């Protein structure tokens, strides 16, 4: 039975409507006739209540040992694992991705929670030699206070988990504002953490529009830190507001990720991983492969392999086991993607596959776009420069490794990059010189592991890193302590 309380805010351990009682609708992107529910359209009053509640809960939460907090995260991991299918199906219904991908994402959420439960047992400081032999000098890490967690819709389990879990394990309290396009999945995550024993007020959920609730949250004087994943324009706005108030901030904002294919590459492997990186999740991933930069000597063969593989992808609702590509998240996102398709054609790129809304009853009520491949793309074209966030791949021909590297680095983003080769020297040169925070050789640009730092260069991030032990750097601040013996 559907739990109606999940369609409310969660503040101070209680599910409650917004003060204004205003609500917004959330629909299934695969079937717009399927109304998932109406959720609170929160405003500044709701945000103020959530932040004040989190501030009141902070002293007691930070006073717990990290081992006590770890036990709660461990229970949350077990609860999420026990309800994996329920959460995965809610994710697919709300976000659209294939059910197999949703299950994998929820499983990753379980792993993230377990990883940060384990982090609660690790050291948080070091002893430092002192010039005074009668003194002890050491460092420790202390929490920041109230952290605003603002997340997107494309990974509504994984991204909240990899922000909320480290925030909690290191003693912070949280106000969580998810995307208005994935409110139900967010509520499920909060419910599980509350059931695991997170005390009232430590984790608060405020639903609503980014332009209202999100804006109110980043401007609130009671916030000590902001962690955000989303667009560059919003990220830059958050950075300006945070800098003005001297609030710590962390931004992950997008990518235009290249996959370079050298002439000695295993083309079957390159084809499979480039297509997966470009098309899986309907291309709605910041680490999606959007540019294949291919040596001229193998360009024709790889082009035909990629076109053949993409033509065999199955489009449909994520609940269909045969589906490879689900719908885009919204009508606005579909229009944006189709706009880039038209722009690519006007710029002179050759549309070799897709670029249309699929026809038929199966697609009539969803936001579908065919897998799309442009060939003979020039590096300066906008479709090769701007993040599209859809199932669109551009193929670019180059003559040398140096040219390929220059093309890869010619965009304003620097999130992830891949190289396909058997040449160790080329691999090492690529790893050193490509301008990306995540580098893979003979691997897909998309996909991250919770134990490894994640983040980008240039306009992809704020030069901070998420996940792994790097999370400790953001969610805590260092304190140096110098103890001297009393007396002479």
Alpha-carbon gap, residue 488 to 227, rounded angstroms: 48
Would you list the DSSP string of 314-382?
PBS-TTSTT-SB---S-HHHHHHHHHHHHHHHHHT-EEEE--SPPPSGGGTTS-----EEEES--TTSG
Marked catalytic residue, from 8, 252, 370, 387: 252
Q: How many CB atoms lie within 10 A of CB 2?
A: 10
How would you class 179 by CB atoms within 10 Å of its CB: exposed for 0-12, middle for 13-18, buried for 19 or more? buried
| Cβ atoms 167, 193 nearer than 8 A | no
Integer Cα distance of 204 and 14 in angstroms: 9
Annotated catalytic residue 310: no
Q: How much of the chain is helix, strand and coil, in % rounded to 5?
A: 40, 25, 35
- Phi, psi values for residue 109, rounded to 5°: -60, -40
- Compute CA distances 84 → 77, 99, 104, 183, 185, whole Å: 10, 11, 9, 17, 12
Contacts of 92 (CB under 8 A, 6+ apart): 98, 99, 102, 318, 319, 326
386 is catalytic: no
Q: Which of 370, 375, 368 is nearest to 352 (CA)?
A: 375
Catalytic residue, chosen from 95, 161, 191, 286, is: 286
* CA–CA separation, 408 and 412 (whole Å): 10
Would you list the DSSP string of 176-201?
Answer: EE--TTSHHHHHHHHHHHHHHTPPTT
59 CA to centre of own chain: 30
Measured in residues, the chain has a length of 488
Q: Which residues of 55-74 are buried (b: 16+ CB within 10 A; e: fewer)?
A: bebbeebbebebeebbbbbb
The Cα–Cα gap between 466 and 221 comes to: 24
Catalytic residue numbers? 252, 286
């Amino acid at each position: 039975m559907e739990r109606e309380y999940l369609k409310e805010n969660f503040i101070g351990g209680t599910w409650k409507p917004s003060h204004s009682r205003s609500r917004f609708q959330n629909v299934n992107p695969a079937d717009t006739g399927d109304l998932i529910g109406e959720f609170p359209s929160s405003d500044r009053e709701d945000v103020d209540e959530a932040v004040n509640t989190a501030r009141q809960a902070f002293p007691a939460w930070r006073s717990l040992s990290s081992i006590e907090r770890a036990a709660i995260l461990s229970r949350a991991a077990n609860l999420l694992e026990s309800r994996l299918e329920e959460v995965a199906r809610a994710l697919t219904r709300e976000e659209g991705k294939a059910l197999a991908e949703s299950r994998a994402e929820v499983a990753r959420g379980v792993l993230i929670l377990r990883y940060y439960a384990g982090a609660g047992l690790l050291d948080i400081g070091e002893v430092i030699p002192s010039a005074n032999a009668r003194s002890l000098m050491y460092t420790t890490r202390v929490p920041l206070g109230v952290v605003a967690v603002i997340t997107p819709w494309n990974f509504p389990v994984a991204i909240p988990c990899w922000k909320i879990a480290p925030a909690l394990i290191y003693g912070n309290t949280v106000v969580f504002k998810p995307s208005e396009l994935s409110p139900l999945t967010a509520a499920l995550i909060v419910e599980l953490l509350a059931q695991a024993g997170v005390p009232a007020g430590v984790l608060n959920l405020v639903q609503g529009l980014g332009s209202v609730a999100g804006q109110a949250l980043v401007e609130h004087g009671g916030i000590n830190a902001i962690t955000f994943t989303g667009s560059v324009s919003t990220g830059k706005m958050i950075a300006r507001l945070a800098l003005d108030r001297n609030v710590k901030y962390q931004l992950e904002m997008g990518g235009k990720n290249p996959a370079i294919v050298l002439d000695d590459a295993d083309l079957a492997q390159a084809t499979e991983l480039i297509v997966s990186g470009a098309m899986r999740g309907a291309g709605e991933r910041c680490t999606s492969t959007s540019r294949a930069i291919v040596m001229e000597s193998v360009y024709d063969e790889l082009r035909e392999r990629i076109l053949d593989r993409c033509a065999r992808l199955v489009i449909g609702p994520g609940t269909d086991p045969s589906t490879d590509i689900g719908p885009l998240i919204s009508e606005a996102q579909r229009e944006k993607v189709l706009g880039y398709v038209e722009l690519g054609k006007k710029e002179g790129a050759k549309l070799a596959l897709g670029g249309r809304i699929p026809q038929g009853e199966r697609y009539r009520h969803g936001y579908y776009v065919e897998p799309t491949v442009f060939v003979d793309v020039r590096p300066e074209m906008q479709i090769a420069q701007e993040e599209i966030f859809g199932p669109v791949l551009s193929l670019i021909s180059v003559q040398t490794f140096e040219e390929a590297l220059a093309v890869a680095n010619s965009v304003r983003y620097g999130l992830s990059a891949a190289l396909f080769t058997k040449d160790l020297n080329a691999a090492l040169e690529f790893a050193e010189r490509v301008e990306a925070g995540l580098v893979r050789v003979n691997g897909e640009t998309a996909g991250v592991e919770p134990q490894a730092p994640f983040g980008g260069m240039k306009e992809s991030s704020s030069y901070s890193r998420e996940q792994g032990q790097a999370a400790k750097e953001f969610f805590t601040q260092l304190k140096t302590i110098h103890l001297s013996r009393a007396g002479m």
